[in-house]
Amino acid sequence: MINLQQRIDFPQMIFSLMFIVIMIVACFWVVQPFILGFAWASMVVIATWPLMIKLQEWLWGRRSLAVIAMTLLLLLLFIIPITVLLNSLIDNSAPVIAWATSGHIQLPQLAWLNDIPVIGEKLYSSYHKLVAGGGAALMSKIQPYAGRTTGFFVSQAGHFGRILIHIGLMLLFSVLLYWRGEQVGNGIRHFAYRLASRRGDAAVLLAGQAIRAVALGVVVTALVQGILGGIGLAISGIPYATLLTVLMIVCCLAQLGPLLVLVPAIIWLYWSGDTTWGTVLLVWSCVVATLDNVLRPVLIRMGADLPMILILSGVIGGLIAFGMIGLFIGPVVLAVSYRLVSVWMHEMPAPDEDPDKIVEELAAQETEYSEHEKASS
């Protein structure tokens, strides 16, 4: 009898796999300079796609006019402000580094402690005993690290040319994606469907919802809080208000809140004797700090109906793991995984029986099994 079973050609499989891997690596090597710009463009386009469709309806159904309008909005609301902030950050970095490394950093005297009733003099005396006992030495040890830390963060923002290139690529890819968004989206969905059937298609749709939720709920909230806080700093006369505004936006994106910047500014105003503007900034800071409790849930629900803890955990974890782009990668990974696991669980009906009854049945089965073992032995 002739064996018609085809023999497996392992060398062919190995060389085919090697060829596929080499092609993937080569493609990645070619597109590597454009990955970051394309990733940011994808996030921006996915987040603002409903707005672009609405503009297209208002502009007589003309896609070209809607794309031009969205490009102008990106320039006015995103690219130009980021460029101005980075330019201001670089211009103001020299005096900040010089101050941090000058050796003139000293602990404040806090003379206003004497004005506190009953315990003021004791607090003032204890504070100066602490300073005399080692506070100055502590500041002298901290100062070199303060200068290095400040210089590190400024140098990271100082790659101005590279940042501008990525921003320009982001704008170019955004225009292309706005123009051919449906074709690109259908192609991605087709590829996902080929990989994992309906679940792959659902994963792509869930990723888009998660990106929109993060863009609306996290990024927009951080920008609103940072800008409003920066306005309060500028009006109150705080120096380097632009730098502090950038730092405040970063803190809000990292879910640390604006108070890390606003509270030291309030303390500085009271310490310098400007109690009027200190009180104004204090009231304004309370408004800015509580704004996210109202604004963020509403905006996140507009993007996707996902648990708040899931979005915030993805934002913080993604920011730590991947940097700024992790603001979107983290929530997308958690949201897609959460929904897929949820769908997999609900393929079976939830148990609706009484838990006590189930425990009694299990105990009865265990007792019956034990008696059967004794009888057989």
- DSSP string spanning 288-305? HHHHHHHHHHHHHHHH--
> Looking at residue 304, what is its pLDDT?
67
Please tell me which residue, 187 or 241, carries the higher pLDDT value.
Answer: 187
Cα(37)–Cα(281) distance, integer angstroms: 38
Residue 142 has pLDDT above 50, yes or no: no
Burial 326-358 (b: 16+ CB within 10 A, else e): bbbbbbbbbbbebbbeeeeeeeeeeeeeeeeee
pLDDT above 70 covers a percentage of the chain that reads 76
- Between CA 247 and CA 225 the distance in angstroms is 12
pLDDT one-digit tens code per residue, 277-290: 888 999 999 999 99
Give the residue-averaged pLDDT of 245-269: 85
pLDDT at site 257: 85
**Domain residue ranges of the chain, discontinuous segments joined by +:** 33-105+159-179, 113-145, 181-346
- Model confidence at 28: pLDDT above 80: yes
CA distance linking residue 375 with residue 377, whole number of Å: 5
Per-residue pLDDT of 33-87, as tens digits, reads 888 888 888 888 988 898 899 999 999 889 999 999 999 988 887 777 777 766 6
What does the buried/exposed string (b/e) look like for 104-118 if buried means 16 or more CB atoms within 10 Å of the residue's CB? eeeeeeeeebeeeee
**Whether the Cβ atoms of residue 325 and residue 36 lie closer than 8 Å to each other:** yes
Give me the chain's average pLDDT, please: 78
Contact 134, 140 (CB under 8 A): no
pLDDT of 329:
78
Q: What is the pLDDT of residue 301?
A: 73
Q: What is the pLDDT of residues 4-20, one digit of tens each?
A: 555 777 888 898 899 99
Q: What is the pLDDT of residue 369?
A: 76
Structure-token pair, residue 192: 């996902």
Instruction: Give the pLDDT confidence of 146-184 residue by residue, as tens digits.
Output: 444 454 445 544 455 666 777 888 889 999 999 998 999
* φ, ψ dihedrals at 307, nearest 5°: -60, 140
